[in-house]
């Protein structure tokens, strides 16, 4: 072995450590033959397990209700009876369970917040209540905010059905995003003006994703952006591709 | 509409039209169930296969699964069908085609000559009668060779796409992942980045970064920043260093419209990319991605099952002599392919159909975390597709893509596959690996951890 090779391991570690400051990608993992060293193989499995658990951990509406500290809540389910069905039948996850439709008080609400489990109940448990509270605080005091709807086995478009049943003019769906291996607790927010089941399309929504402090968007920043978008949506009478988030500068 | 039927288990099962028959004959798959197209029982599924086996291949030319008048992909399929190439199998049924494909009569030369005579529906149909091993055995016999700065698809070779994605397209982060992949011998199919934004400026910055590295180290490969085709056309007009023009495509006019593309637009991109002539050993300049479920997801499937629609996307691809085509097989999620078993089956079908139609097929062997799959499924798929002779696979650092939030094969996985199957990189790239000191005496990738190697300047320069 030459002298240079003998000192290589130490300086390799320094090289990869300096490069890792620029990316979360799993670089410089080294090799055992052609395969990964044991430590990295197990780290990948641990990250995958966290993501899988995030998908399959049951949603506990009590966690969100208690974090909302006294705010009125209503619990609903989608038409998907269980997780297995939910994963294979997005159409059912977009539709309210018929029994639960009757629990929604129709009134002249300006907005309804829907907290939906989506693909990560962990994201919802950790972030949703804080975003609802911070956003509500930033809305004009004369806005009529419906009770927060806590929805199980829910897709984004379930918010259309809920808002329609409540007679709400706007829906904000806070939903657990598809978990990656580096982020299993990411919350998304979808804003829809005048939602109509079956007629509203994804192009009619505005989305904030990656709400996930401290690595992603903070609760307060998400709330500020959401409240701004909501006021502008009401002024314009629409959401979607024609309503841009102007709180961040556009790319040149 | 014609009706097809077969009697099985004391019951006669009937299927409405070729589209209904093809859908019912498909292996169990969550997407077809979601679309309401799946067979309603296990026996009905097998009955559909009995009926499908009896259908003459010529029937597929007479009964388009989506009407000629309403869909430009159907028009492309019908108008470009090569009757002379079809002649050797024109008298066969689907069942007989399966046996012919498995026989010694089907070899690299006869299969290459047959490709323009086959339609997507014919290859989709025969795939539904084949077992996983059949799909491997036949695909392995097909050779499709393409070239730009490296040659893809030669026997005994496996190329890789190096995918150094970054959630904010940070140049230093991309460079770090690029270095990691090159040191592990990856990148001969393409160095391809999925950008976080489709902004022309951001895409241009990444193109310049990749072009600079390829040029500085004289790497015989090509770059691609996977933006919308209109962005590429715009950038080519502005003199950006575009090697390969990328586009996601699907198997119906309406699904392509949901991607914002038309055949006319692809024609324009094809002309523009070819006119740049940036290749050195060949001029295949397009790169397409496909994947089962996209037409259903866009509500644009016209009652055709997801595998048959996927095969129709290959008719679009082959019009443009692409360098690379890959199916991103497990990307969309379990509502289309539920678990490792369904993803594996789809991967083998897509690879088989694409190759039989004459395409340089590679795969993004992948899954999302809400599908029932794990890294053992990646290993199984990789091994079978390696045996089946896939042109290339997509590789990410540690198999974890931090921008798209899904799991794919890793650079290590590609090393494994080359090792166990005796596969080598593209010849031009392999020679370069030797020149740059990354091959050992046996021609294997050396375990160069990094710091002493000249390539590390890529990382050091940008990360400083």
Q: Provide, as residue numbers in chain A, all residues whose Cβ is less than 8 Å from the Cβ of B167.
A: 24
B452–A54 CB contact, under 8 Å: no
Contact residues, A window 225-244, toward B, CB-based 8 Å cutoff: none
**ipTM score of the complex?**
0.93
Q: Mean of the pLDDT values across residues B250-279?
A: 96
List Cα–Cα distances, A181 to A43, B83, B240, B407, in angstroms.
Answer: 10, 50, 34, 8
Burial grade of A21 (CB within 10 A; 0-12, 13-18, 19 or more):
exposed
* Cβ of residue A39 closer than 8 Å to a chain B Cβ: no
Q: How far is Cα B460 from Cα B458, in angstroms, rounded to an integer?
A: 6
A48–B451 CB contact, under 8 Å: no
Minimal-distance CA residue of chain B relative to A57? B370
Contact residues, B window 374-393, toward A, CB-based 8 Å cutoff: 374-375
Contact residues, B window 139-198, toward A, CB-based 8 Å cutoff: 164-167, 170, 172-177, 179-180, 197
Give yes or no for residue B450 having a pLDDT over 70. no
Give yes or no for residue B297 having a pLDDT over 90. no
Computed on alpha carbons and rounded to an integer, the radius of gyration of chain B in Å comes to: 22
Tens-digit pLDDT profile for residues A172-199: 999 999 998 888 899 999 999 999 998 8
Task: Please calculate the CA angle A49-B417-B389 and round it to the nearest 5 degrees.
Answer: 115
Tens-digit pLDDT profile for residues B131-190: 999 999 999 999 999 999 999 999 999 999 999 999 889 999 999 999 999 999 999 999
- Beta carbons of B106 and B126 less than 8 angstroms apart: no
Percent of chain A exceeding pLDDT 70 equals: 92
Nearest one of A180, A215, A186 to B404, comparing CA atoms: A180
Tens-digit pLDDT profile for residues B7-59: 998 999 999 999 999 999 999 999 999 999 999 999 999 999 999 999 999 99
Name the residue with higher pLDDT: B322 or A8. B322
Q: Provide, as residue numbers in chain A, all residues whose Cβ is less than 8 Å from the Cβ of B203.
A: none
Tens-digit pLDDT profile for residues B401-439: 998 889 999 999 999 999 999 999 999 999 999 999 999
Minimal-distance CA residue of chain B relative to A35? B412
DSSP 8-state secondary structure symbol assigned to residue B444: S
Tens-digit pLDDT profile for residues A24-58: 999 999 999 999 999 999 999 999 999 999 999 99
A55–B369 CB contact, under 8 Å: yes
CA distance A246 to chain B (A): 16
Q: Provide, as residue numbers in chain A, all residues whose Cβ is less than 8 Å from the Cβ of B337.
A: none
How confident is the prediction for chain B on average, in pLDDT? 95
pLDDT at position A191: 96
Helices (H), B129-168: 132-141
Q: Provide, as residue numbers in chain A, all residues whose Cβ is less than 8 Å from the Cβ of B397.
A: 25-27, 29
A179–B397 CB contact, under 8 Å: no
A29–B338 CB contact, under 8 Å: no
Give yes or no for residue A251 having a pLDDT over 50. no
Q: Mean of the pLDDT values across residues B282-291?
A: 98
List Cα–Cα distances, B189 to B143, B173, B186, B291, B387, in angstroms.
Answer: 16, 21, 8, 19, 18
SS3 content of chain A, % helix, strand, coil (to 5): 40, 15, 40
Pairing mode of beta strands A170-176, A187-193: antiparallel
A28–B450 CB contact, under 8 Å: yes
């Amino acid at each position: 072995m030459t002298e240079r090779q003998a000192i290589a391991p130490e300086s390799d570690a320094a090289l990869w450590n300096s490069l890792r400051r620029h990316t979360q990608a799993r670089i410089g993992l080294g090799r055992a033959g052609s395969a990964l060293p044991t430590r990295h193989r197990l780290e990948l499995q641990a990250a995958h397990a966290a993501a899988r658990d995030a998908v399959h951990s049951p949603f506990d509406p009590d966690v969100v209700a208690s974090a909302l500290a006294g705010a009125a809540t209503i619990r609903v389910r989608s038409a998907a009876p269980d997780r297995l069905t939910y994963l294979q039948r997005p159409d059912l996850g977009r539709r309210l369970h018929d029994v639960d439709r009757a629990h929604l008080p129709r009134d002249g609400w300006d907005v309804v917040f829907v907290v939906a489990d989506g693909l990560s109940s962990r994201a919802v448990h950790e972030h949703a209540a804080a975003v609802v509270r911070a956003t509500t605080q930033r809305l004009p005091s004369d806005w009529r905010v419906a009770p927060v709807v806590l929805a199980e086995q829910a897709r984004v478009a379930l918010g259309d059905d809920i808002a329609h049943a409540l007679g709400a003019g706007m829906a904000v769906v806070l939903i657990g995003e598809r978990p990656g291996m580096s982020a299993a607790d990411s919350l998304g927010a979808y804003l829809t003006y005048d939602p109509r089941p079956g007629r509203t399309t994804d192009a009619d929504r505005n989305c904030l994703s990656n709400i996930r402090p401290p690595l992603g968007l903070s609760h307060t920043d998400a709330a500020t952006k959401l409240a701004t978008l909501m006021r502008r949506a009401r002024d314009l009478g629409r959401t979607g591709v024609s309503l841009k988030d102007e709180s961040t500068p556009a790319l040149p | 509409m014609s009706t097809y039927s077969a009697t099985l288990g004391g019951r006669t099962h009937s299927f409405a039209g070729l589209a209904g028959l093809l859908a019912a004959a498909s292996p169990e798959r969550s997407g077809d169930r979601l679309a309401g197209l799946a067979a309603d029982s296990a026996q009905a599924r097998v009955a559909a296969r009995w009926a499908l086996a009896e259908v003459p291949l010529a029937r597929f030319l007479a009964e388009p699964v989506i009407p000629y008048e309403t869909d430009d992909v159907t028009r492309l399929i019908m108008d470009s069908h090569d009757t002379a190439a079809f002649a050797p199998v024109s008298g066969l049924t689907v069942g007989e085609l399966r046996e012919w494909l498995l026989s010694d009569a089907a070899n690299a030369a006869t299969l290459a000559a047959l490709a323009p005579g086959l339609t997507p529906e014919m290859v989709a149909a025969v795939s539904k009668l084949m077992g996983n091993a059949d799909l491997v055995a036949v695909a392995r016999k097909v050779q499709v060779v393409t070239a730009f700065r490296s040659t893809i698809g030669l026997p005994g070779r496996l190329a890789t796409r190096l995918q150094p994605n970054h959630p904010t397209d940070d140049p230093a982060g991309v460079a770090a992942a690029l270095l990691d992949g090159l040191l592990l011998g990856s990148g001969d199919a393409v160095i391809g980045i999925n950008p976080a934004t489709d902004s022309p400026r951001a895409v241009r910055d990444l193109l310049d970064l990749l072009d600079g590295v390829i040029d500085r180290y004289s790497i015989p490969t090509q770059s691609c920043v996977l933006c919308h085709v209109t962005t590429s056309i715009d950038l080519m007009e502005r003199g950006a260093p575009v090697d390969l023009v990328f586009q996601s495509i699907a198997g119906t006019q309406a699904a392509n419209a949901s991607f914002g593309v038309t055949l006319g637009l692809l024609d324009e991109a094809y002309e523009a990319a070819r006119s740049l002539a940036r290749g050195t050993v060949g001029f295949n300049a397009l790169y397409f991605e496909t994947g089962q479920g996209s037409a259903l997801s866009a509500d644009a499937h016209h009652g055709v099952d997801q595998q048959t629609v996927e095969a129709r996307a290959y008719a679009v691809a082959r019009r443009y002599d692409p360098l690379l085509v890959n199916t991103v097989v497990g990307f969309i999620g379990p509502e289309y392919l539920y678990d490792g078993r369904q993803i594996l089956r789809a991967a083998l079908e897509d690879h088989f159909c694409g190759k039989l139609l004459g395409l340089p097929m590679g795969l993004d062997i992948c899954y999302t975390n809400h599908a029932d799959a794990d890294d053992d499924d990646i290993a199984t798929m990789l091994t079978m597709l390696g045996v089946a002779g896939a042109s290339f696979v997509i590789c990410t650092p540690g198999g974890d893509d931090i921008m798209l939030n899904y799991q794919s094969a890793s650079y290590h996985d590609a090393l494994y596959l080359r090792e166990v199957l005796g596969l080598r990189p593209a010849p031009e790239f392999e020679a370069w690996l030797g020149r740059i000191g990354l091959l050992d005496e046996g021609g294997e990738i050396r375990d160069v951890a990094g710091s002493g190697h000249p390539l590390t300047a890529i990382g050091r320069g940008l990360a400083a």
